[in-house]
Structure 1
Amino acid sequence: MSRDLSPREARDRFLSRRKQENTEKTVRSYKNRLTRFVQWAEDEGIDSMADLSGWDLDEYRAAREAAGIAPATLKGQLTAVKQLLDYCASIDVVGDDLPDKVNVPTLSRSEESNDTMLEVDDASSLLSFFRSSTDWFGRPQHAFLEVAWHVGARMSGIRALDLRDFDPDRQTLEFRHRPPTLLKNKEEGERVVGISEPVVKALRTYIARERFEKRDEKGRQPLFCGRQGRPSDTTFRAWSYVGTHPCLVIQCPHGNRRQTCDFTRRNHASKCPSSRSPHAIRTGSITWQLLRGLAIETVAKRVNARPETIRRHYYKATEREEFEELRAETTLKLDIEDNDE
């Protein structure tokens, strides 16, 4: 070995390389997963990556299993360790055979995927409410939900949209990889997607009434823009959680009164058991688009994901829903109000 690094130094060096290739969210995920490994190694007195053995890696897995974490979480943490070791092997810090000694578990489909999603009926009720509400129409929560549901894009993709990427006349949104706002899969994730007229109307109203005329640090004009410029991930999540509160439409299913419920406050919105994250909206949207009869290749292009990934992680339709699958629609007519046709 020509170099020696401690586990913490190796993690930091690895993350610095990831920053050049991945989104901030992905790098943060790597850091969270690898920090657990670093802490375990330091507790075990492992001062050098070169001292790691297959036995140590198996002990780490056993320690994580003993902590009672979910199978998907365990797989994610061990996959991150393997990638760290692959990097270390590439710079001659560990032997070439060490990464293969990480025993990453193979999971069933049910273990690997998260079934939480915004249901079609709930999305329909919420969007009908927003579209008919004088107070809520065009507000950030509404505009975000329209785009997130009808496109199925990742939160990072929606955040990366600029004002120029919205063409109301052509009814399109254009997703472009422009660092520092990154798309998953980089340039390969670039695409133009069609949106329905009601989505266009919601975005027009948001831009006219709610959007702040600001530029980001690169001088670009974000489509979704707050007082400080391009909103943070935290802001988008807050819009998602607030915008999917069921009490906007129906009586609270948890027995609370909206006027006094803490969950209606922005900082507590995610604690509502029935509110949904951007990822849950994306999962519901992808399932809905497929049930509407769109080809999986078309959906994959719209949402920037491989068909096999969609089948494994996102498609949550029941056998009954598949049997009653609705006819295909063109993307320009794909709209929640047509769901019952």
Structure 2
Amino acid sequence: MAPREAVNMWIDRLQSTRADETLKSYRYRLKPFLEWCEKEGIDNLNDLTSRDVFQFDSHRRADGLQVSTLNNQIGTLKQFIQFCERIDAVPAGLPTKVEVPSVDLAERVNDELLSADRAATIRENLHRYERASRRQAMFELLWHTGCRLGGLRALDLGDCFFDESDLERLQHQDDIEGAALDAVEVPFVYFRNRPETPLKNKREGERPVAIDRDVADRVQEYIGVNRVHRPGSNDRQPLFTTEKGDNARVSKSSIRREIYILTQPCRWGRCPHDRDTTNCEALEHGKEARCPSSRSPHPLRTGSITHMRDQGWPPEVVAERVNATPEVIREHYDHPDPIRRMQSRREFLTEDSE
């Protein structure tokens, strides 16, 4: 089997369990391998050896890639080769010989993580100056649930369960018996996978996520005061809407831009970078990401997950809440504050002494 043919087969096989953006990232990571195979004349994967994979690894290292990038590319390549072994497209045992470059904790830590202190300041300023705004509701849900940008965008009004009366919808949607509803507590939001708004992990990404009452109240204020009442496609009612465009649902780029704006310190106070706010390019439309302190939704998710762990939440509980595996939580998102983590462990010390 030719390498490119096998990659297409693997990607097609993953269509039902992976989001389109995830599949695009897989193709992107495997592109250098396919180009290398063509250059080396490897047109049949049955001829691929562990020595070839080692030489490809060395080739990519020579390109000056960061260890974290190499880790992602070789890690994806190993997953691909594991699939190829299952369909007899590579020699048996080859995947076990592929060594994925290890990444030290210091190299894994994302310095762009949004800290809990910064998040608290943003929440306070939003509640004071932009109460009931779409921005406030977005930030509250992103920070409190640790959801991905795509999950936030996918929410409909019907996915919000703020009061007991809303639970009747749950009974209709999930075939839950009436008696069982007595045990369900509100408020919570329900992330659902739908064709128009797929979640990263498709059906496996569907989950209800409990939220605090104050978070629910702020989202409800947005719905009652500033939400633009426009029906979406297929008669869906998006939670976050826009006045412009053919689609009532806010776009991913708009959500990303809103978060960049919210995380610019000068929006609430002075600039920490000694820039002139009268002509700073980061304050121009579409250039918000050029502020050194601005953050995209992903560092916000990282900060949210880290905050949960700092509060003592077990990795398994956090994983279910944010739709990730405990291993991924520990490896990619768990960047602890040593002092806060020590404080979160004190309760276990107290229990042991008792």
Structure 1 length-normalised TM: 0.83
1:239 equivalent in alignment to 2:255: no
What corresponds to 1:319 in structure 2? Answer: 338
What corresponds to 1:148 in structure 2? Answer: 142
Specify whether residues 205 and 262 from structure 1 end up closer, same or farther in structure 2 by C-alpha distance, changes over 3 A only: farther
What corresponds to 1:163 in structure 2? Answer: 157
On the 8 A contact 1:71/1:112 being kept in 2, the answer is no
SS at match of 1:89: helix
Specify whether residues 236 and 13 from structure 1 end up closer, same or farther in structure 2 by C-alpha distance, changes over 3 A only: farther
1:53 to 46, 49, 52: 49
2:275 to 238, 243, 256: 256
1:293 Cα offset (Å): 4.4
How many Å separate the matches in 1 of 2:118 and 2:205? 29
1:287 Cα offset (Å): 2.1
On the 8 A contact 2:19/2:202 being kept in 1, the answer is no
1:183 to 192, 195, 199: 199
Tell me the alpha carbon deviations over residues 204-233 of structure 1, each in whole angstroms, 9 at most, x when there is no partner.
2433414451313x5432222334233443
Tell me the alpha carbon deviations over residues 52-111 of structure 1, each in whole angstroms, 9 at most, x when there is no partner.
332221111011111221212111101211222222333333222333332212333333
1:125 equivalent in alignment to 2:147: no
1:111 equivalent in alignment to 2:111: no
What corresponds to 2:178 in structure 1? Answer: none
1:301 to 320, 324, 327: 320
Task: Describe how 1:265-280 pairs up with structure 2 within 5 A.
Answer: 265-280=284-299
How many Å separate the matches in 1 of 2:280 and 2:146? 30
SS at match of 2:190: strand
Specify whether residues 36 and 189 from structure 1 end up closer, same or farther in structure 2 by C-alpha distance, changes over 3 A only: same
1:213 equivalent in alignment to 2:230: yes
Any unmatched runs of 5+ in structure 2? Answer: 164-185, 348-354
How many Å separate the matches in 1 of 2:5 and 2:203? 31
Specify whether residues 110 and 179 from structure 1 end up closer, same or farther in structure 2 by C-alpha distance, changes over 3 A only: farther
How many pairs does the alignment contain? 321
How many Å separate the matches in 2 of 1:18 and 1:141? 34
What corresponds to 2:350 in structure 1? Answer: none
1:161 Cα offset (Å): 1.6
Percentage of identical aligned residues: 38
The one-letter amino acid paired with 2:232 is R
On the 8 A contact 1:113/1:312 being kept in 2, the answer is no
How many Å separate the matches in 1 of 2:7 and 2:302? 32
How many Å separate the matches in 1 of 2:84 and 2:74? 15
SS at match of 2:208: strand
Any unmatched runs of 5+ in structure 1? Answer: 329-341
On the 8 A contact 2:109/2:335 being kept in 1, the answer is no
On the 8 A contact 2:22/2:200 being kept in 1, the answer is no
- Give the aligned CA root-mean-square deviation in angstroms: 2.6
What corresponds to 2:37 in structure 1? Answer: 41
